[in-house]
Amino acid sequence: MRFNKKITALTMALLLVILTLAACGGGSNKEASNSPSGSAQSSAPASQPASPSGSGDTATKLTGDFEIQYFVGGFGDKWWKKVIADFQAANPDLKIKQSAGPKINDQNKPRWIGGNPPDFVYIDGAGINDRQMVEDDLLEDLTDWIKTAKNIDGELITDLLAQPPQQYDGKTFNIPLVLNSWGVFWDKKLFADKGWTEPTDFNSFMEVSEKIKADGVTPFIHTGKYPYYINGAILFPAIVAANNNDYSILQDMAANKVEAFEKPAVLTALNKIVQMRDKGFIDKASIQINHTDSQMLFLQHKDAFIPNGLWLPNEMSKDIPEGFDFGFIPSITHDAGGKVVANTSTATVAVAKKGKNKEAAKAFLQFIFSKAQASQWAELSGAPSNIKGDISSSNAPNFVKDAAKYLTDANTVVVPTITYNADVDKAMMDATDALTIKTITPEEWVKRVTDVVKKASK
């Protein structure tokens, strides 16, 4: 019996040692991957660094490995494959590696944690957040570079951007690649058949909704499971409109400034949602359904309006009934005669701070932000690109061309993409949901959200 105990004790001791060693092993692995020589994928940086100002000097030869991480979602990967092939052709000595897929953000996470990230990253999809990456110090500071960076055609990149990059304490870390807009959709054909007027502002929206309701159709559906749809397409444009079309209020909200949330514009905007709710325009089903279900109900004409992004027609392309003709307006909450507010939603690109071939990454930025890519992106991904360029002659879908027209119109306030603090964003979503089912008042919305802002900005 004593012998038994001894053996057990010995085994336990042995195991403890093994476990400790295993734990140490994990740590040393991490360290190893931190150092450039520790990983098989890393290699010496480009032997000939490009000019630091990024003047678009394409004569500089790029060599070494260059890794691009891109998420494959609603926009597909056709454009990425094409542009990477073109970039490879232009730089034959560069060894380009693509890390891509719908799960790439999660798959590559350990490498970002371990300090061995890819050189270039496209920030889109679940599991990746630009603001968080900036806070985690994972992205290269592009503030000075972007000021003078020219693309391969010798044009200043900042001149080509339809919307400027988001600023974090005055610094630039990521550049918007896609220009998408939130807004409200309807079916033009249904409206024509029923004799409903297409809305141009809040009043006309409320008037036609009254009529739609009287005709037995619910005017408005959204996805309560993902309330960022109604926030992005209704609430945020409404706040900007109520703030004399000055979108700096949203930027202040994103910078966790409590006073921005307490401005009267926020209450005015929330009260517009309350009006829609109290008139019974919001489909009761909204609160519990996901985006797909809400979109299906909209396509089945159970509801007349839906807040969504420009990707909607692409996303639902298989289920769109014959004759369905998408009408779109970026905002419905501005007053008659006021400007339309387009709250853009985008996906950005950035260079990893710990990337091993930053020169190639910057050269790739100079390559993709060119006019030729504007049409190519619109054609291959079905969404407007953030590069100013005439896409009217391209093969892009009609609603993309229409939206692009809206976004370049002088009568539209284009709100650059703003990423909120994740805690604040969640609090706003929950509060808006609660507001639509009457469990809180607009004042309580503000109170709730500012409480979270105060905590998050600590």
Position among 39, 129, 245, 441 found at the interface with another protein (CB under 8 A)? 129
CB of 229 to another protein, least distance (A): 13
Position among 246, 315, 409, 430 found at the interface with another protein (CB under 8 A)? 430
Q: Which residues contact 362 (CB under 8 A, 6 or more apart)?
A: 50, 54, 145, 149, 351
Regarding 132 and contact with another protein (CB under 8 A), the answer is yes
Q: Which residues contact 57 (CB under 8 A, 6 or more apart)?
A: 50, 51
Regarding 283 and contact with another protein (CB under 8 A), the answer is yes
Position among 56, 176, 224, 338 found at the interface with another protein (CB under 8 A)? 224
Regarding 302 and contact with another protein (CB under 8 A), the answer is yes
Position among 115, 194, 245, 388 found at the interface with another protein (CB under 8 A)? 115
Position among 35, 51, 53, 288 found at the interface with another protein (CB under 8 A)? 288
Position among 189, 225, 371, 388 found at the interface with another protein (CB under 8 A)? 225
- Three-state DSSP class for 74? coil
CB of 208 to another protein, least distance (A): 21
CB of 298 to another protein, least distance (A): 11
Position among 28, 51, 93, 137 found at the interface with another protein (CB under 8 A)? 137
Regarding 23 and contact with another protein (CB under 8 A), the answer is yes
Regarding 444 and contact with another protein (CB under 8 A), the answer is no
Regarding 24 and contact with another protein (CB under 8 A), the answer is no
Position among 69, 94, 433, 442 found at the interface with another protein (CB under 8 A)? 433
Q: Six-digit token pair at 343? A: 């709250």
Bridge partners (DSSP) listed for residue 64: 94
Regarding 293 and contact with another protein (CB under 8 A), the answer is yes
CB of 379 or CB of 425, closer to another protein: 425
Measured in degrees and rounded to the nearest 5, phi and psi for residue 278 equal -70, -25
Helices and strands: H and E segment counts in the chain: 21, 13
Position among 206, 255, 285, 320 found at the interface with another protein (CB under 8 A)? 285
Regarding 434 and contact with another protein (CB under 8 A), the answer is yes
Q: Six-digit token pair at 222? A: 């959204």
Position among 9, 439, 443, 454 found at the interface with another protein (CB under 8 A)? 439
Regarding 76 and contact with another protein (CB under 8 A), the answer is no
CB of 411 to another protein, least distance (A): 37
Regarding 437 and contact with another protein (CB under 8 A), the answer is yes
Q: Six-digit token pair at 97? A: 């590696």
Position among 61, 103, 438, 454 found at the interface with another protein (CB under 8 A)? 438
Rounded Cα–Cα distance for residues 246 and 385 (Å):
24
Q: Which residues of the chain form contacts with another protein (CB under 8 A)?
A: 3-4, 7, 11, 15, 18-19, 22-23, 109, 112-115, 127, 129, 132-133, 135-138, 224-225, 283-285, 287-289, 293, 297, 302, 422-423, 426, 430-431, 433-434, 437-439
